[in-house]
Amino acid sequence: MAPPRLSGLLLHVTSLPSPFGIGDLGPAAFRFADFLAQTRQQLWQVLPLVPVAYGYSPYSSPSTFAGNPLLISPDRLVEEGILRQEDLSDRPDFPEDRVDFEHAVPFKFGVLERAFARFEDGETGLNPADFEGFCAQEADWLEDYALFMALKSEYGDGVWTAWPHELAHRHGEALRHAHHMHARAVRLHKFWQFLFARQWNALHQYCHERGIRIFGDLPIYVAHDSADCWANPDLFFLDEQGHPTVVAGVPPDYFSETGQRWGNPLYRWKRMRERGYTWWTRRLARTFKLYDLVRLDHFRGFAGYWEVPAEEETAVNGRWVEGPGASLFDTLRHNLGSLPVVAENLGVITPDVTALMEQQHFPGMAVLQFAFDSDATSDFLPHNYQPSLVAYTGTHDNDTIIGWWDDLPTSQPRHDGSLAGTGKAYARAYLGLGEGDEDVHWAFIRAAMASVASLVVIPLQDLLGTGSEGRMNVPGRESDNWAWRFAQDALSKGVADRLRTLTEVYGRTDRE
């Protein structure tokens, strides 16, 4: 049986309109779900919903299990009686088109502190038993996370290896004492996770009622300065002080002569296998509670990964090491049942990666922006797609279609008169474009929608025809990422009608 043909939009929650400086799980999120339903979209892809740290990247977090408190909606807290309207009276005048991290972060945490204080004083109407039940249900990750965050605050946000030795290395008596000394802070972080779960679950249910699936994202690695690493040091290659001995990255390639040294600690896969991949089972179980479908970032690392000695400043002097392969996914499937997973297979993909994907029946990805630097045999051109595929115009790491198009060179015909497979000339011929650029983004959307790929996801920036100012992330750039936001009036009737028409014309309206 052929897989259903579905389509959707990629939009991180932080990019939603909000009066509080950063998109959240409030009214605009529900309006966006309505827009998806109105245009017959059935997928909403988001970036990781985890707390953010340095650089505000959702791919570098103090916890792979926790939700980002910055996504909690103050509007909804007021609606539920957890806050009062006057609690928001000190709101700064935030810009509408960007996330103002500098001012939004302290404002939101101040609001959340007030919510916790009201809860502790019994002024919210929330049932304490519901909170205690949540804490008990999520205890296997919540206890470590809440204490980790409390200690981070106590020690000036320093990395956990710089804490007092008995805390860094989790001596039992020291942990018990820390729990007692920081009981309020621990409880505060648990309460914020409770609020996040309430609001996320409400939005998730709202989407389900409208036939919309949430498509999440799971990085393969976790940050060294995280509750995940602190609470499970024996599952990573760390020295006696807790510092990584080897770190993750990718080798030198066409794009970088020194490769990419990511710095994440690497897993002790042999030890994880001996323990039945318990930690990964917990991680995926938590992930599947949040999302209906999950993109596994850097999937090739499960087949084989690039190991870089921690003392190296670049990724040049690394080596390939065999990953866990099928044993991990076979165990996860045994423990969890079906695995609704999409493999992020971009970059240099070797036969072992393809074989693992095929064995596990995981669909891969194709990005249309990558299609015009080769020739007609490119795997990224729609006529070469396979049904088991998720097709994109671009991803969060790409420029927008309009920004990319503006920088795309115009190639010249070959000596035999045929078009080269690169540049605007070939793209215009392939997409049936004239000389004008007014509807370039719609031509790319149409090409993806018309393909045989079972799933198509369009970044909202590409749907709106946003230029490079809408780019979400520039890999390797340390600042000014993750900040794009859209205005509510951008989702016009004209945009909605055109998207709905393409969705219906190309049969992407299957409902289960």
Check 123, 292, 297, 352 and give the catalytic one: 297
Q: Would you say residue 3 lies in a domain?
A: no
Mean pLDDT over residues 21-49, rounded? 98
**160-164, 202-206, 408-412, 448-452: range with lowest mean pLDDT:** 408-412
- Please say if 406 is a catalytic residue: no
Spell out the residues 6+ positions from residue 12 whose beta carbon is closer than 8 angstroms to its own. 23, 46, 47, 58, 396, 472, 482
| Gap between the Cα atoms of 312 and 333, Å rounded | 37
Q: Would you say residue 469 lies in a domain?
A: no
Check 292, 397, 437, 510 and give the catalytic one: 397
Answer yes or no: are the C-beta atoms of 449 and 393 closer than 8 Å.
Answer: no
Helices (H) and strands (E) in the chain, counts: 19, 12
C-alpha of 482 from chain center: 11
**157-171, 177-191, 498-512: range with lowest mean pLDDT:** 498-512
**Residue 391: in which H helix or E strand, if any?**
strand 389-392
Neighbours of 506 (CB within 10 A): 16
- Please say if 121 is a catalytic residue: no
What is residue 424's predicted lDDT score, i.e. its pLDDT? 87
**CA–CA distance from 103 to each of 95, 99, 108, 196 (Å)?**
10, 9, 9, 21
Q: How confident is the model at residue 436 (pLDDT cuts 50, 70, 90)?
A: confident
- Which residues are registered as beta bridge partners of 413? 419
| Gap between the Cα atoms of 467 and 175, Å rounded | 50
| SS3 state of residue 134 | helix
Residue 52 structure tokens = 């953010």
Answer yes or no: are the C-beta atoms of 112 and 195 closer than 8 Å.
Answer: yes
The alpha carbon dihedral of 204, 208, 211, 216 has a sign of: positive
Smallest Cα–Cα separation from 375: which of 414, 401, 403, 402? 414
Spell out the residues 6+ positions from residue 380 whose beta carbon is closer than 8 angstroms to its own. 366, 367, 368, 369, 370, 371, 374
pLDDT tens-digit map of 273-284 = 999 999 999 999
State the average pLDDT for the chain: 94
pLDDT at position 430 over 80:
yes
Q: Would you say residue 298 lies in a domain?
A: yes
pLDDT at position 416 over 60:
no
pLDDT tens-digit map of 71-82 = 999 999 999 999
Mean pLDDT over residues 420-430, rounded? 81
Residue 248 sits at φ, ψ, to 5 deg, of: -85, 160
What is residue 85's predicted lDDT score, i.e. its pLDDT? 94
pLDDT at position 414 over 60:
no
Q: Given the DSSP bridges, would you call strands 319-322 and 304-309 parallel, antiparallel or unpaired? A: antiparallel
- Please say if 86 is a catalytic residue: no
What is residue 67's predicted lDDT score, i.e. its pLDDT? 98
Q: Would you say residue 333 lies in a domain?
A: yes
| Gap between the Cα atoms of 158 and 50, Å rounded | 19
Reported as half-sphere exposure (CB side, CA atoms, 13 A), residue 266 has a value of 28
Smallest Cα–Cα separation from 7: which of 456, 342, 388, 444? 456
pLDDT at position 297 over 50:
yes
Q: How confident is the model at residue 413 (pLDDT cuts 50, 70, 90)?
A: low
Strand order in the sheet with 455-459: 341-343, 293-296, 213-218, 43-45, 6-10, 455-459, 389-392, 364-367
Percent of the chain with pLDDT over 90: 88
Smallest Cα–Cα separation from 14: which of 76, 92, 73, 83? 73
pLDDT at position 212 over 50:
yes
Angle at Cα 147 formed by Cα 146 and Cα 152, nearest 5°?
100
What is residue 389's predicted lDDT score, i.e. its pLDDT? 95
What is residue 136's predicted lDDT score, i.e. its pLDDT? 98
Check 24, 344, 399, 462 and give the catalytic one: 344
What is residue 512's predicted lDDT score, i.e. its pLDDT? 45
Mean pLDDT over residues 391-404, rounded? 96
What is residue 170's predicted lDDT score, i.e. its pLDDT? 97
Domain that holds residue 346: 232-362
Per DSSP, 383 falls in state: G
Q: Would you say residue 118 lies in a domain?
A: no
pLDDT at position 157 over 60:
yes
Mean pLDDT over residues 101-126, rounded? 96
Q: How confident is the model at residue 418 (pLDDT cuts 50, 70, 90)?
A: low
Q: Would you say residue 193 lies in a domain?
A: no
Spell out the residues 6+ positions from residue 198 whose beta carbon is closer than 8 angstroms to its own. none
Q: Would you say residue 462 lies in a domain?
A: no
pLDDT tens-digit map of 298-355 = 999 999 999 999 999 999 999 999 999 999 999 999 999 999 999 999 988 899 999 9
pLDDT at position 247 over 50:
yes
pLDDT at position 139 over 70:
yes
pLDDT at position 252 over 70:
yes
Q: Would you say residue 437 lies in a domain?
A: no
Mean pLDDT over residues 393-421, rounded? 79
If one counts the domains in the chain, the total is 1
Percent of the chain with pLDDT over 70: 96
pLDDT at position 437 over 80:
no
